[in-house]
Amino acid sequence: MKVAVVGATGLVGRVMNEVLEEFNFPITEYIPVASSRSVGLLVTYMGKEYPIVSMQDAVDMVPDIAIFSAGGSTSLEWAPKFAEKGTVVIDNSSAWRMDPSKKLIVPEVNADTLTKEDKIIANPNCSTIQMVVALAPLHKKYGIKRLVISTYQSFTGTGAKAVAQYESEKAGAKPEKADMAYHYQIYENAIPQCDVFLDNLYTKEEMKLVHETKKILGDDTLRITATAVRIPVNGGHSESVNIEFHHPFELDEVNKVLEDAEGIVVLDDPDSFQYPMPLYAKNKNDVFVGRIRRDESVDNGLNLWIVADNLRKGAATNAVQIAEYLVKHHLV
């Protein structure tokens, strides 16, 4: 299996390499790819050093799989060039997510829709991934009518510039405006803006939660609203999700559905102060669900608290799991 990691030197790219190693993915030829200024630099994978190659050289090497984490414009330009050679592209940017001709995949939810014809596969937004892992089995059993989502997202989701800003502020420095990923300091702050504002006054991140959830769950009738907040947490997104179902439920049954679902760890024992936290989820690949309780203000209402490592299940792990599915089912 010849595998290219595009964006191998980036924040997610480095985690991608870690996950590939941990999963012992069947790679016979590893190809690290990055921007032209990084070509020739060395990346270590499985204890061996590999030189970074250019995009065109990687295309010409015709990898079986190319996992992209290099931004939307790069993906729009280069993913089709890989696909034309027969390479299956798993893309972590927003470039292809809402393209009706491309699958938006969370393996626990809809990997069974993949075929050999799918040459560009979209990896969903980090906050969407962890949420739909928990929602999918509940939607199947009770039918979701409406979602009210509030996210509390790590600054690592913005990338290396945000990490540098946080570390600088934490050390007591005041970074120059040009060096800031946000309009305001992130250290000891909460910023109610993830990504840019749109004409409807929601941010792009908030609308990703709306549109991507509908696409992954295959249900355009879902009524969804979201507020996304950036917080000074170094790794891990948290979400408060209020669900209104079409059908009644019992809490014990909800717990059982979640406990039996793939990829979920239920951590919910108020008596012993057990609930999911980013600190607990960091460097783990599962989605953690807790604070499971009935919404007593509405019929068939439920509240969940959902936490996952945004660089892992929210990005790298999900992409590698897609690749694993392709290999296991002989789709590549």
pLDDT digits (tens, 9 = 90+) for 115-136: 999 999 999 999 999 999 999 9
Quote the domain boundaries for residue 202: 128-310
pLDDT band at 327 (very low <50, low <70, confident <90, very high): very high
**Active-site entry in 126, 139, 194, 329:** 126
The pLDDT value given to residue 36: 86
Residues 250 and 294 both lie in one domain: yes
49 with 110, same domain: the answer is yes
Could you report the per-residue pLDDT of 246-265, keeping only the tens digit for each?
999 999 999 999 999 999 99
Residue 237: active-site member: yes
Residues 173 and 136 in one domain: yes
What pLDDT score was predicted for residue 35?
Answer: 87
Residues 183 and 286 in one domain: yes
174, 194: one domain:
yes
Task: Tell whether the model's pLDDT for residue 241 goes beyond 90.
Answer: yes
Per annotation, catalytic residue among 139, 194, 237, 330: 237
Q: Which of these ranges, 31-45, 80-94, 220-234, 302-316, has the smallest mean pLDDT? A: 31-45
pLDDT tens-digit readout, 143-201 = 999 999 999 999 999 999 999 999 999 999 999 999 999 999 999 999 999 999 999 99
* 168 and 119 in a common domain: no
d(CA 183, CA 82): 37
Q: Are residues 230 and 149 in the same domain?
A: yes
How confident is the prediction for the chain on average, in pLDDT? 97
Q: State whether 153 and 6 are in the same domain.
A: no
Residue 310 predicted with pLDDT over 90: yes
Same domain, 99 and 7: yes
CATH of the domain at 31: 3.40.50.720
Encoded tokens for 16: 């991608």
Domain count, the chain: 2
Residues 83, 166 within the same domain:
no
Q: Tell me the percentage of the chain whose pLDDT exceeds 70.
A: 100
Give residue 328's pLDDT: 97
Is the pLDDT confidence value at 302 over 90? Answer: yes
**Could you tell me the CATH number of the domain that includes residue 144?**
3.30.360.10
